[in-house]
Chain A
């Protein structure tokens, strides 16, 4: 094809070049002839000039009475022109005949000049002058005659030359036309043949690709091409077949994969063992096209592998009697390096051969489920509906097995998670209670002498009453006793209230009120110190939460603050709304938290207070705030004080950011 194309183009090119060359030659020749023609015309012009000059001169000779008049210069010019015209003609290349004629003309011109000049200048001899005049007239006439003859010859020549040129022009036109037509025809023939030879196979190919595009994979082009197209068609057919094969393979894989996927996906969504095994067995049937399937697992004591859950395609009574000794399976597993056991024609080697016969097993396959290098189970499929079990079947089952072991693990993990969660919950509750007790303990030591005070005054007044007889005094003492007693009772009540283990009870909480009761409790603690309490109540909405738990949080924050300040300082308590949160800020001017400890203060049992602290306060507080979907913010600088901010969401806002934000801060309110 390629060769043919090149040959054709070469032929076309040669023809075109030949034609062009011929045309060029003709054009060249024509141009040459044209040049001659132009030269001839030019000569004719010269000749005509000459004739005009001669005629003018002759006219003068005939007409002028005196040999000279006004137009003398003009006559002189014409004669000179005449002469120079002859000279110009002589200067060109001519035929010998023409040269002879021109030489004759030249001689005549010279004689003419002599006679003419003499006629003009002679005076005092009329006869002589007249003789010159007649001579000049005679020569002039001869000259004109000759030039006329030459004109005739020249005209003939001109005619001939013109005819030649015309002929040449028409010749070159014909050649050009023939070349063009011929080139066109040949090009057309080449184009048509080529197109036929190319488009035929190309159309076939295009048609074939359409077939393939429309899904008709494996379409074979019936056309038998030659040369490159033959090869192209052959390789196209090959490609088509390969495409068909691969497509079928891919489809098969896809089918298997989707089966596998649908099977395994159910594993992870079911959490009951029975369900998993049911899915697994059915999946194995579907994937391999077997009639029986089941999973044998290692029994509790580890001696046997047996069906512990339902299997498919095996009668109910046989399922649980199928047991394999553990060493048999271990041997098979280890000797094959975990590879599946496939028995297609001879089922003698099957570890379940006894029952196999009973179940009419033709072929059987065992795929091992291993965990940490040990077989933990075996998937058994038997009696493939179509033909033999293949490695492919084994591979698919192995994938199923892997998923199965993962699912098994999931179930196991889920169960243990549930257990752990339960334990954790218990522990947590204990911790909260413990923290509470600890807090009470802390408070108790501080509060003890508070109760002691009213008791002391009660005792004192009681003794006074015993000796006093004035009823008025007694009544006044009784009033005091009553008042002090009530105070003591309140203190004890509030302690009891706090210490009591109560279930979580959610309700709308007025935070400001809670904080007021916290201040009341703390106030008792700070009565004798120079600690000032500065409260700044914001206009805040009620919060959904457990009032007691929140109180515990703020109480802990406040008592931490008081402890950090020691004998003097300011405890700031402030509430305000910022964004979607109610903010509760507890500020102190105490010793602050060193930067390196900042990350640890929320750890349970982390304390810097030795036996005076439990290290539970902040960790419990954190848990409580978290359970209220709130946030904790801590800012502190050693020696300057700390600011703890609790942010509780207004309404049903859920947590979006991490619940603690800790930052060392330099701009804390400092009271000196």
Chain B
């Protein structure tokens, strides 16, 4: 009995020690919505801020494909990830991650939509006009692709390959937009946030491209933590991120990310995504989310 107690005590000690040690460095996954190097660079000030405020070191890891974050979350022993709407939705059901915070844009937006856009000279005026055209997508685990599937589903098509004469993935919202602009494809799908950002920078985009369809509001990006993440550290992290927008140093890091702050996220934030996936006729359990 006594031996068992001592053993238990040492086990607790070991676990605690591990937990404390584990808290030292957080491995956070990123979804490559944009140029992977710039994405990491943009996030480095955030990591520095968290470390400065909490003493916790944050490291980022990125995979070339959206869906990889689901497959590698456990093998890479990630503590959490900034998921996009669809990978987040999948992670919620497949990994049981817990939503922590999500960013607010300067306009106050916490959501984004998926947009279907075409080159103006392509002769595409309706969604059905897209048939037989060349298309370019970000990733088959991006929300915009699910939106495409939803629209195709509506049009009565199941296979993207059958519908378009050709298509490919850039793995990057901006690149997708430029691919359409450059004539690499006639149709493109991307996240509205990127589309609007680029349009604001480059007048050619509004001049040459027109938006054909737009999804409803979907969660933009959500930081979720693994389900067994220590509660104390989680609370500390949450508090730090939520208060970031009140701290000059925090504001500095946020500005680089083009965020104005973070707000609390919850599982129900993904319900719109769940609805869209369901409406697209996707069975999450067998959906091929990697390419």
Q: Complex formed: what's the CA distance from A123 to B176 in Å?
A: 12
Whether a CB of chain A sits under 8 angstroms from the CB of B32 is: yes
Identify which of residues 119-153 in chain A touch chain B, using a CB-to-CB cut-off of 8 Å: 120-125, 128
Compute how far the CA of A124 lies from the CA of B166 in the bound complex, rounded to whole angstroms. Answer: 9
Find out whether the CB atom of B32 lies under 8 angstroms from the CB atom of A124: no
Chain B CB within 8 A of A80 CB = yes
Q: How far is the CA of A123 from the CA of B32 in the complex (A)?
A: 14
What residue of chain B has the Cβ atom nearest to residue A112's Cβ?
B37
Task: Please pick, from A76, A83, A118, A124, the residue contacting B172 in the complex, using a CB distance under 8 A.
Answer: A118
For the complex, is A79 an interface residue (Cβ under 8 Å from B)?
yes
Q: Tell me if A117 counts as interface (CB < 8 A to partner B).
A: yes
A53-84: which residues lie under 8 A (CB-CB) from chain B?
A: 67-68, 72-73, 76, 79-80, 83-84
Contact A128 B184 (CB under 8 A): yes
Knowing A72-B63, A123-B291, say if A117 contacts B169 (CB, 8 Å). Answer: no
Report whether A68 and B291 are in contact in the complex, using a CB–CB cutoff of 8 Å: no
> What's the Cα separation between A116 and B36 when bound, in Å?
9
Chain B residues 38 to 56 lying within 8 A of chain A, measured CB to CB, are 38, 40-41
Quick check: A113 and B35 within 8 Å, CB to CB? yes
B residues less than 8 Å from A124 (CB atoms): 167-169, 291
Question: With A and B bound together, what is the CA distance between A118 and B63 in angstroms?
Answer: 13
Q: Are B37 and A121 in contact (CB under 8 A)?
A: no
The verdict on B79 contacting chain A, using a C-beta distance below 8 Å, is no
- Type the 1/0 row for B1-42, where 1 means its CB is closer than 8 Å to any CB of A: 000000000000000000000000000000010011110110
A113 nearest in chain B by CB position: B37
Q: Given the complex, which residues of A lie within 8 Å of B41, measured CB to CB?
A: 80, 83-84
CB distance from B179 to the nearest CB of A (A): 8
Per-residue contact bits, chain B 248-285, to A (CB 8 Å; 1 contact, 0 not): 00000000000000000000000000000000000000
Q: Is B171 an interface residue (CB 8 A)?
A: yes
B199 in the interface, Cβ–Cβ < 8 Å? Answer: no
For the complex with contacts A76-B37, A113-B35, 15 further pairs of A-B residues with Cβ separation under 8 Å are A72-B63, A73-B61, A76-B62, A80-B37, A83-B37, A114-B35, A116-B37, A117-B38, A118-B35, A121-B170, A121-B172, A123-B291, A124-B169, A124-B291, A128-B184
Total contacting residues, chain A, CB less than 8 A: 21
Near A by CB (< 8 A), chain B positions 148-186 give 167-172, 175, 184
Within the complex, the shortest CB–CB distance from B71 to chain A, in Å, comes to 12
A73 to B169, CA, bound (A): 21
Q: Please, which residues of chain B bring their CB within 8 A of the CB of A114?
A: 35
10 shortest interchain CB distances as A-B pairs: A121-B171, A125-B168, A124-B168, A117-B35, A68-B64, A113-B37, A120-B64, A123-B169, A117-B36, A79-B37
**B170 x A118 contact (CB < 8 A):** yes
Contact across chains for A117 and B168 when beta carbons are under 8 A apart:
no
Chain A residue contacts of B168, Cβ below 8 A: 122-125, 128
- Please tell me if the beta carbons of A72 and B35 are within 8 angstroms of each other in the complex: no
Q: Which residue numbers of A lie inside 8 Å of B, CB to CB? A: 67-68, 72-73, 76, 79-80, 83-84, 113-114, 116-118, 120-125, 128
When C-beta atoms are compared, the residue in chain B nearest to A114 turns out to be: B35
Smallest beta-carbon distance B164→chain A, Å: 11
Residues of chain A contacted by B62 (CB below 8 angstroms): 72-73, 76
- In the complex, which residues of chain B have a beta carbon less than 8 angstroms from the beta carbon of A80? 37, 40-41
Please give the distance in Å from A58's CB to the nearest CB on chain B. Answer: 15
Q: List 30 A-B contacts (CB under 8 A).
A: A67-B64, A68-B65, A72-B63, A73-B61, A76-B37, A76-B40, A79-B37, A80-B40, A113-B37, A113-B38, A114-B35, A117-B36, A117-B37, A117-B38, A117-B172, A118-B172, A120-B36, A120-B171, A121-B169, A121-B171, A121-B175, A122-B169, A122-B170, A123-B168, A123-B169, A124-B169, A124-B291, A125-B168, A125-B184, A128-B168
Chain B residues near A128 (CB-CB < 8 A): 168, 184
| Closest partner residue, chain A, to B41 (CB atom) | A80
Q: Please, which residue of chain A has its CB at the minimum distance from the CB of B172?
A: A121
B159 CB to nearest chain A CB (Å) = 14
In the bound complex, what is the Cα–Cα distance between A123 and B64 (angstroms)? Answer: 10
- Shortest distance between the CB of A50 and any CB in chain B (Å): 14
Question: Which residues of B are found within 8 Å of A79, using beta-carbon distances?
Answer: 37
> Which of B32, B62, B167 has the most CB atoms of chain A within a 10 A radius of its CB?
B62
B171 (CB) vs chain A CBs: closest residue: A121
With A and B bound together, what is the CA distance between A118 and B169 in angstroms?
Answer: 10
A73 to B27, CA, bound (A): 12
Q: How far is the CB of B142 from chain A (nearest CB, A)?
A: 11
Task: For B172, list chain A residues within 8 Å (CB).
Answer: 117-118, 121
A79–B32 Cα distance when bound, in Å, is 15
Distance from B55 Cβ to chain A, minimum over Cβ atoms (Å): 23
In the complex, A17→B64 CA distance in Å? 69
Which residues of chain B are near A84, meaning CB under 8 Å? Answer: 41
Least CB separation from B136: chain A residue: A125
Chain B residue contacts of A113, Cβ below 8 A: 35, 37-38
A68-B169 contact, Cβ under 8 Å, with A76-B40, A113-B35, A116-B37 = no
Give A84's nearest chain B residue, CB to CB: B41
Q: Is the CB of B63 within 8 A of A68?
A: yes
For residue B63, which residues in chain A have a CB less than 8 angstroms away from its CB? 68, 72
B148 to chain A minimum Cβ distance, whole angstroms, is 14
Q: Which residues in chain B, 176-205, are within 8 Å of chain A measured between CB atoms? A: 184
Rounded to whole Å, the gap between the CB of B34 and the closest CB of chain A is: 8
Q: Please provide the chain B residues from 117 to 158 with a CB less than 8 Å away from any CB of chain A in the complex.
A: 139
B291 / chain A contacts, CB cutoff of 8 Å: 123-124
**A68: nearest chain-B partner, CB-CB:** B64
By a CB distance below 8 angstroms, the chain B residues around A118 are 35, 170, 172, 175
Residues of B within 8 A of A116 (CB): 37
By beta carbon, the residue of chain B nearest A121 is B171
Q: Which of A67, A72, A80, A117 has the most CB of B within 10 A?
A: A117
